[in-house]
Every structure is written in C-alpha cells, then in structure tokens.
Structure 1
Amino acid sequence: MPQNPSETELMLLKALWREGRMSAREVHDATEAQTGWSFSATRKTLERMEGKGLIRVEPLHGVKTYLPQAEKLDVMARLIQNFASRILDTEGPLPAAAFTGSRVLDKDEIGDLEMLLAELSKEDEA
C-alpha cells in the first residue's frame, strides 16, 4: 500500500488524477500557481512520490511521463479516516454528506468513498 501523500504531494496527485498521464513540465505548469515552486522542486517531489508508491514513471516517445499509482478513492479514504480519528477523535466513518460539493469527487465516487470509510473504520476497531 502506498504511503499517504503530504499536502503538497496531494496537489500534484490531484493534477494527475484529473489530467492523467503528464510530463514533469505539464505537472509543474498545472500546479505552479498553487505551489509557487521552481520546476526543479516539482521534479524532485515527483521523484519522492515515485519512491512512496504514489505515482509511476512510464517513458513515452523518449519523455518521462507520470501516472497516478495510488487510487484516488483509496488515498482520500485513508486521509479522511486519519483526519477523523486523529483530529476529530471520532469512532466510525464520517457520513458521505460531508463530501457533497467536492470538486475532487463526483456523486458516484462519494458513495464508493463512504463504503471505503466504513471498511477502514471496521479495520480500526479490530
């Protein structure tokens, strides 16, 4: 299982989930306004993310491209469960209604996320 992304790694991962395969330059251009990073900082972060199992590298026409390795809903469920237990000190999953209006999750994904959160909650109880 991949490690959880840091807040800034999550920005890059969201771009990859949204756009799919991208070069380092494309990832940088898509996230520069949010991160304020130099291109070399973006490349270094992508390397770190590969090591964490969050993304994978595939050459395409001689250019390194990056693809998400970690599934969006799995990552979101782990981060949400971690937040709920660590910050909110809750026992059990957060309701799916908490994610209505998300720009990252669509309606179908919210239902799937609710199931993943329930599964993670059962694992935490065991």
Structure 2
Amino acid sequence: MKPTDTELTLLRPLWQSRRLSAREIHDATEASTGWSFSSTRKTLDRMVDKELIAIEMVHGIKTFIPTTPKLSVLASLIGDFSKNILGSDQPLPAAAFVGSSLISEDEIDELEDLLKDLNEKDTQ
C-alpha cells in the first residue's frame, strides 16, 4: 500500500530512527503538520491498519516501526510519479535525488537498482 503525503511525513522520522513512540513522532513532525497529538495518534492508528507501520512494545512503551524499507517505498512512488504524472516509461534516475535529506549518498545505488527492477516488472 502506498502512503499518503501526510503518512510520508510521519514515516520520515521512523525511517531515520527505526523505532519511535507516538510522542516522539509527533514532536518530530508537529512543525510541518501543525497537528494536535490526538491527530497524530489517529493517523498512526490508520497507518497500523494499513500495515505501513507496526506496533512493538518496548519496556511497556508502545513504539512504532516501519514495515516497508524506505527505499522500496520511495522507488514505488518515484515509478508511479514518472509513469502517471510525467507519462514516462522510465523512472526518474536515482541520481536526481543526490543531496536529498532523506536519501544518503550510499543509498543512491540501491535506489537505482530498485527503480530498474520496478521498470523491468512493468515492461513484462
């Protein structure tokens, strides 16, 4: 399942930290969402239902972890954008994301491989 824009906002800190509480996610995203804590919690609950994230209890504290690797989600979104918005049969090159705060230099090659794999599946 593809995340919405607001779900992506909540996934970003999870991808960076791997595991966070609802409060930590809210604190990391409040400036960009402007949401109350209860709105963040409701969105996290919907994301669990959609299996975008999972709940893990750690020392009695409910924490959230992403269920799909960041690069897999990004490759899928990039492929969809290229195909559905740009009308291109080829996804954008991963090099277009050099300098992104979300993707490290080391991840560019892996993203490029994922984009190639997606493109090959689409052409079969």
Q: Distance in 2 between matches of 1:57 and 1:107?
A: 30
Deviation at 1:93, TM superposition (A): 2.6
Moved over 3 A (4+): none
Where structure 1 has 5 or more consecutive residues not aligned to the other structure, the ranges are: none
Aligned AA (2:123): E
Where do 1:16-27 residues align within 5 Å?
A: 16-27=14-25
Instruction: Write the deviation string for residues 69-98 of structure 1: whole angstroms up to 9, x where unpaired.
Output: 110000000000000000000112322221
Q: Tell me if the contact between 2:83 and 2:91 (Cα under 8 Å) persists in the aligned partners.
A: no
**Identity across matched positions, percent:** 55
16-25 or 69-78, larger mean C-alpha shift:
16-25
Whole-angstrom distance in 1 between the partners of 2:24 and 2:12: 13
User: Aligned equivalents of 1:25 and 1:38: distance in 2?
Assistant: 11
Residues 2-34 of structure 1, C-alpha deviation per residue, up to 9 Å, x if partnerless? Answer: x11100100110110112211111110110001
Counterpart amino acid of 1:28?
A: H
39-48 or 92-101: bigger deviation: 92-101
Residues 1:12 and 2:24 aligned together: no
Give unpaired runs (5+ residues) of structure 2. Answer: none
Q: Equivalent residue of 1:107, what SS? A: coil
Alpha-carbon shift at residue 63 of structure 1 (Å)? 1.5
The match for 2:106 is 108
Query: Which shows bigger deviation, 52-61 or 29-38?
Result: 52-61
Count of residues paired in the alignment = 124
Report the secondary structure of 2:51's partner residue. Answer: coil
Quote the RMSD (CA, aligned, Å).
0.9
Work out the CA distance in 1 between the residues paired with 2:95 and 2:71: 16
Q: Bigger shift: 91-100 or 62-71?
A: 91-100
Q: Distance in 2 between matches of 1:24 and 1:93?
A: 34
Local SS of the residue matching 2:106: helix
Distance 2:87 2:33 in 1: 30
